[in-house]
Amino acid sequence: MKKVLCTLLMLMACLARLQAQQQIENGGFENWRTAAFGQLPLGNGWRSLDSILMLFGASSVTVQKVDAALEPANVRGGTYALGLKVDSVTLLGTPIKIGGVLFNGIVDLTDTAYLGGAPYTSRPTALTGYYKIIGNNHEDTAAIQLSFKKQGTEIASAVWETDVVDAGFQSFSLPINWTTTDFPDTLLMTIILGENDLELNMATRFILDDLAFSLPAGIQENLGASKWFKSYPNPATGVLVVENASSRKDIYWKLVDIAGKVMLELPLTDASRREVSIAGIATGQYYYQFFNSKGEVLYGGKVMIAR
């Protein structure tokens, strides 16, 4: 009886944890608040460097609310998106260019370190979203940095960056690497538009929309997931075999690189087996994920592509 009771209590604790899984607050950037130096996304404790830049004579803000009514091509879904741009300020008599930075912690100006963060207690497997870069000729780089901490110690992190310019929105999926089995208490997220070994381009804009975490789908789907979902061989040379042996019809599979770029993506019907050519993919380490139509990751792993 005691063993049964203990098992039930453990299951209740796990279910409570799963029910409390957190998405990114205002990840679609639909809600905004007015600040003395412009506007910032509401929720998650978002801050920017604009208030500091104004002290040095910045003429405009580097964090922008992108409005679909004014720029319909620059909002992927809903009414608004996030925009970061480059501005010029004069520091000690010298004009310099600074890219937009949005973060949910505090900044230490002595060494330009971002500290703190917002309360967060889930273990996502990846960060997904959509982006576009305008007016950049590979001069500037957009980046997203994640740091999950427990009692001040980092237990997971991820970094995504790109300088790719495209006319339309591009999707990305950034795997999150956990170093322990603990759950975090804090998440520090930093979104940056910075230079790429050259002077910042005043025409560059980084547009970001529909950020979301891929979260474990639940106990019933994760137990024995390796039995139903397989991707092999590892290492792979010319073909990857992808299998869905479950009875579910809403299963999808994707392969992403270490920067979070989606390399391959395909649907899997029930009891399906697919052979996927990887002939055009460079050698290196990649991550694969099986997920459902809601974007919930059911199973994943690493694969090395070799020649």
DSSP states along 206-271: EEEEEEEEE-B--HHHHTTHHHHEEEE-SSBSSEEEEEE-SS-S-EEEEEEETT-BEEEEEEE-TT
CB-based burial, 208-237: b 16+ in 10 Å, e otherwise? bbbbbbbbbbeeebeeebeebbbbeeeebe
Residue 59: Cβ within 10 Å count? 9
State whether the Cα torsion 8-11-17-20 is positive or negative.
negative
Residue 6 has pLDDT above 50, yes or no: no
d(CA 160, CA 116): 20
Q: What is the pLDDT of residues 252-274, one digit of tens each?
A: 898 988 767 789 999 887 668 89
Q: What is the pLDDT of residues 180-225, one digit of tens each?
A: 888 888 899 999 987 655 567 777 889 999 998 887 654 334 445 6
d(CA 29, CA 191): 13
Mean per-residue pLDDT, 111-122: 74
d(CA 251, CA 231): 14
State whether the Cα torsion 210-211-214-217 is positive or negative.
negative
Residue 289: Cβ within 10 Å count? 24
Whether residue 123 contacts residue 178, with contact meaning beta carbons closer than 8 Å, is answered with yes
Mean per-residue pLDDT, 226-241: 87
User: β-strand 177-178 against 170-175: which pairing, if any?
Assistant: unpaired
- Whether the bond into 175 is cis, omega within 30 of 0: no
Q: How does the average pLDDT of the chain come out, rounded?
A: 79
d(CA 110, CA 219): 45
Q: Which of 14-18, 161-165, 303-307 has the highest mean pLDDT?
A: 303-307
Mean per-residue pLDDT, 94-114: 74
